[in-house]
């Protein structure tokens, strides 16, 4: 029984890996200064009513690197399925859904969710880089489900377990990132 739950939790993490790693990619890209020519704010530095549209933290580099990482991960997941590895934690049939489209939508959803969140954050007067609990944590998961819904008939069980796991796992991964000096702030 417990083993079944454990497998289900690992399976959900495995399924969301394209989104999780896409969400982490912009910070690595920033720290390692990948593709410096893409390090430009998506909002072009423009403001609405004296407030940044998105802020300096949302760059083309983050968006593009996130999408590329998600496509790489979904392709690896399809390859692992082709050779029959990790069958017990696989919830999706990567070889039947278009895994490239899935990776693209996962990355675009994750980073798009983050961008939409920053847009709202600026409107409610929270400065770029300041915390907005819960929304900062769930933005990319909601974006991921929203865009991949066209390819996968997600169940409520998968959706809510993913939400809870993300909320629980986020503080841990952030503190790890902060400790490893990948992130500047612990949230």
Tokens found for residue 5: 């739950």
Minimum CB separation of residue 66 from ligand CTP in Å reads 7
Per CB under 6 A, the list member of 128, 152, 154, 165 interacting with ligand CTP is: 128
Residue 14 and residue 89 in contact, taking contact as beta carbons nearer than 8 Å? yes
Tokens found for residue 48: 């609405």
CA atoms 91, 94, 97, 102: torsion sign: positive
Q: Does the protein bind ligand CTP through residue 107 (CB under 6 A)?
A: no
Residue 170 and residue 132 in contact, taking contact as beta carbons nearer than 8 Å? no
Q: Does the protein bind ligand CTP through residue 114 (CB under 6 A)?
A: yes
Q: Does the protein bind ligand CTP through residue 170 (CB under 6 A)?
A: no
x-or-dash pattern for ligand CTP, window 27-56, by CB under 6 A? x--x------------------------x-
Per CB under 6 A, the list member of 14, 18, 22, 58 interacting with ligand CTP is: 58
Within 12-155, strands assigned E span: 47-48, 51-52
Torsion, CA 98, CA 104, CA 109, CA 110, rounded to 10: 120
Q: State how far the Cα of 168 lies from the Cα of 185, in Å rounded to an integer.
A: 18
Residues in contact with ligand CTP, total (CB under 6 A)?
17
The residue among 37 and 87 lying less far from ligand CTP, judged by its C-beta, is 37
Minimum CB separation of residue 114 from ligand CTP in Å reads 5
Q: State how far the Cα of 28 lies from the Cα of 10, in Å rounded to an integer.
A: 24
Per CB under 6 A, the list member of 118, 137, 161, 166 interacting with ligand CTP is: 118
> Which parts of this chain interact with ligand CTP (CB under 6 A)?
26-27, 30, 55, 57-59, 61-63, 111, 114, 118, 121, 128-130
């Amino acid at each position: 029984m417990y083993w079944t739950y454990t497998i289900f939790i690992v399976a959900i993490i495995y399924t969301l890996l394209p989104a999780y790693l896409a969400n982490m990619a912009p910070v690595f890209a920033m720290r390692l200064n990948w593709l410096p020519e893409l390090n430009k704010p998506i909002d072009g530095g423009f403001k609405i009513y004296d407030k940044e549209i998105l802020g300096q933290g949302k760059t083309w580099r983050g968006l593009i690197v996130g999408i590329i990482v998600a496509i790489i991960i979904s392709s690896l997941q399809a390859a692992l399925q082709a050779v029959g590895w990790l069958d017990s934690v696989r919830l999706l049939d990567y070889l039947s859904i278009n895994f490239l489209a899935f990776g693209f939508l996962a990355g675009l959803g994750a980073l798009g969710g983050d961008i939409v969140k920053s847009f709202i954050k600026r409107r409610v007067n929270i400065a770029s880089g300041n915390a907005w609990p819960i929304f900062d944590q769930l933005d990319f998961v909601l974006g991921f489900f929203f865009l991949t819904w066209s390819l996968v008939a997600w169940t409520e069980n998968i959706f809510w377990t993913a939400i809870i796991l993300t909320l629980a796992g986020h503080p841990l991964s952030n503190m790890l990132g902060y400790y490893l000096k990948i992130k500047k702030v612990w949230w």
